[in-house]
Each structure stands twice: as C-alpha cells, then as structure tokens.
Amino acid sequence: MLQTLDLALSAANNPHYDFVCQPAPSVQITASMIRADRLYGRDVNVQAKYVARWGAQFLGLDESTLITIPLGEPQHVSTGPFTMTVPDLSKDPIAGASGHPGELQFWVSGAVDHAVVAQLVPAKGSGLTTPIGGMTIQNGLPAEITFAPCGTSVISRDPETGFTLRPGRYDVCDR
C-alpha cells in the first residue's frame, strides 16, 4: 500500500520513525492486444506503473512533474493474451481516495535493449482510458481488457539488424 510521511527534518533533530510496510491486495489483469503490428515484431516486456497525479503537490514540486511508481518487475509478453498481477489501487487508502487522482499506465520496452517502444492504451470505447492514455483506477475491472500499442516518437535501432525503427506514419493511439 502507499504511505506518506510528513516529518520535520533538521540537522539538530533526526526523529526516529518505524516504517511498517502494509501489503496491498492485488488484482489480476487479463489483457489482449490489438494492432500488435505497432510493436514492429520486437520481443517485448510490459511494465505497469502508477502515476500519482497528487504526488507533485504533496512533495512541493512543480505541478507539471509526474510522479510514477513502477509496479513489480517488467513482464515478458507476446502478441497474444497475457496476464499481469498488479496492486488493487482502488482498495488503497491513498491511491483510491477521491482527493488523490492517479492512473495505471502500461509501458512496452524492448526485451533486449529496454528502449521504450509503446504505451499500451485501453482500446477505444472501453471506458477505462484516461486523457493521457493510462487506465482509470476503479473497483471491479472487466474480465478481459483490450489494449492497443500507442507508438512513441522514440526512434530506436533494431538490435538484430541495426536498422533504425521509426513509428509508422499513422502510428497513433486509438483514442
């Protein structure tokens, strides 16, 4: 579970605080992917991330700063259906609170070079998509979620051939 600490620190006073980790309940996401051609046939991993929209204000940072927290390890996926287990943030007292806006994002990177290839965006019409392509945090997810890879503007090299991989001309999100 997410926890926040608000401690006054100074050179003269270093308070002692026992931090106890509280496990978060988890939820399994079963996913399928449309438009897998946007992955350019690459061997890929998917990394789930929590974007804490409330984090910048809490930390006293510029509002344009995004606070992202990786959730677990990147998972190898193929173009077929896959499952991922992530924390059920709808049940988290901070992430699930109405005053703490946030979302889940799913990022695809090359399994070999780890270069970002795409963001997996819930398919158009799913009702799960946030304005920047993440997934809403909500109780009770559908049995299966369909994602579309949203090509990035990142230009990378194919690790096998060395040729440059560029997003297709119309490789845009299905929003």
Instruction: Tell me the C-alpha distance between 128 and 106, whole Å.
Output: 13
Q: Tokens representing 26?
A: 């988890």
Q: Is the pLDDT of residue 154 over 70?
A: no
Instruction: Give which of 144, 120, 115 is closest to 132, Cα–Cα.
Output: 120
Instruction: Kindly write down the DSSP assignment for every residue of 136-173, as one continuous string.
Output: E--SS--SSEEEEEEE-S--EE-TTT--EE---TT---
Q: Is the pLDDT of residue 175 over 50?
A: no
Q: Tokens representing 155?
A: 């230009």
DSSP 57: H
Q: List, for residues 33-54, the tens digit of each pLDDT value.
A: 888 878 878 889 999 999 988 8
Q: Are 51 and 134 in contact (CB under 8 A)?
A: yes
Instruction: Tell me the C-alpha distance between 67 and 100, whole Å.
Output: 12
The dihedral over CA atoms of 111, 117, 120, 123, expressed in degrees to the nearest 10, equals: -130
Q: List, for residues 23-36, the tens digit of each pLDDT value.
A: 888 889 899 888 88
pLDDT at 163: 62
